Structure 1
Amino acid sequence: MHPSPAPDASPSGDVRLRAVRRADHPFLLALYGSVRAPELRGCLWPRRQKDAFIADQFRLQQAHYRRAHPGADYWVVDRIDEGGAWIPIGRLSLDRSESEWHLIELSLLPAERGCGRGTTLVHWIQQAAEAGAADAVGLHVEIDNSAAIRLYARA
């Protein structure tokens, strides 16, 4: 197992990682909903049914991650807003318990996508893996997630 970065690890000057806290649940659920929103756009379910579906899928995803990657790090990605306060903008889950690290999840709010933050985080993971003597960093991407495929191809 590789050592964890210091609390509030900082991949860049205006972005930091911090351990997920219980109080982050509403944010993480909303983030998950924003990631799944494109799938549900054409769905004719009422809003309440979509919300229940998202909540259930989020719960199942989290349970799966914890079972499949019990030694993983689960972080909230924060950035500094215009007023100088740290605000949550995403989630990063990384399993460093084996010689090949596994990037479980990198999700950002829609407003934070496409502005280089994902690339910064992937580069930070690559540098940390090299410094931690990891053999490689692996990940899985859904075949229809073209934005993620472009991100990882750039990095």
Structure 2
Amino acid sequence: MHYTLRACQPQDEAFLRRVYAAVRAEEMAMIAWSAEQADAFLRMQFDAQHQHYHQHNPEADFDVIEVDGEPVGRLYVQRGAQRIHVIDIALLPAWRGRGLGTLLLQALQQQGPAVSIHVEVNNPAQSLYQRLGFKEISTSGLYRLMEWRASATAQHYGEPA
């Protein structure tokens, strides 16, 4: 599968809102709100998250993930000298479970000595992160901080760190 990353543009806002809503769809299905109420809530939450991410990560890469020119998700990454932190990775439902998340994370693993991500404690993607060598570093509220380190992977395979 061939994917590309491109910087988010203002015209991507409707798509990014759709990705956000898709991520929250299961949760929203459990709430007895009208479509209008759910849409208003999702708009408010997206706006707050979007502002928070940009305010607290001004140097981050905010990218749209595309496959064959079709936008299929978002990848927000803060790169530092000692680690790459995945602020957010989200795919539309039709693109989950097809190996794209694995490819994206493996590409990040090739770029730095460490990769970290916060993940909700009930997020099934944790199994993907664990399969790729991420370990739980800490838990705070509903989130786990998971991290992969190149040196740990090298030691795991019997190579010098």
TM (norm. structure 1) is 0.82
Match of 2:93 in 1: 110
CA contact (8 A) 1:75 1:92 kept: yes
Match of 1:45 in 2: 33
Distance 2:120 2:30 in 1: 19
| Aligned equivalent of 2:105, options 109, 122, 130 | 122
Distance 1:66 1:26 in 2: 17
User: Residues 4-50 of structure 1, C-alpha deviation per residue, up to 9 Å, x if partnerless?
Assistant: xxxxxxxxx62000000111000000000000011111211100010
Match of 1:72 in 2: 60
Q: How many residue pairs are counted as aligned between the two chains?
A: 132
Structure 2 unaligned spans of 5+: 133-161
RMSD (CA atoms) = 1.1
Deviation of residue 99 (structure 1)?
Answer: 2.1
Distance 1:98 1:38 in 2: 37
AA aligned to 2:6 is R
Match of 1:139 in 2: 117
AA aligned to 2:3 is V
Q: Secondary structure of 1:128's match? A: coil
- After superposing the two structures, state which structure 1 stretch, 95-104 or 13-22, moved more: 95-104
CA contact (8 A) 1:126 1:137 kept: yes
TM (norm. structure 2) is 0.79
AA aligned to 1:107 is A
| Aligned equivalent of 1:23, options 11, 14, 35 | 11
Q: Which has the higher contact order (CA 8 A, sep 6+)?
A: 1
Runs of 4+ in 1 over 6 A off after TM superposition: none
Residue 115 of structure 2 is aligned to residue 149 of structure 1 = no
Distance 1:48 1:14 in 2: 37
Match of 2:146 in 1: none
Residue 71 of structure 2 is aligned to residue 88 of structure 1 = yes
Identity %: 41
More strand by share: 2
Which of the two has higher C-alpha Rg? 2
Q: Secondary structure of 2:5's match? A: strand
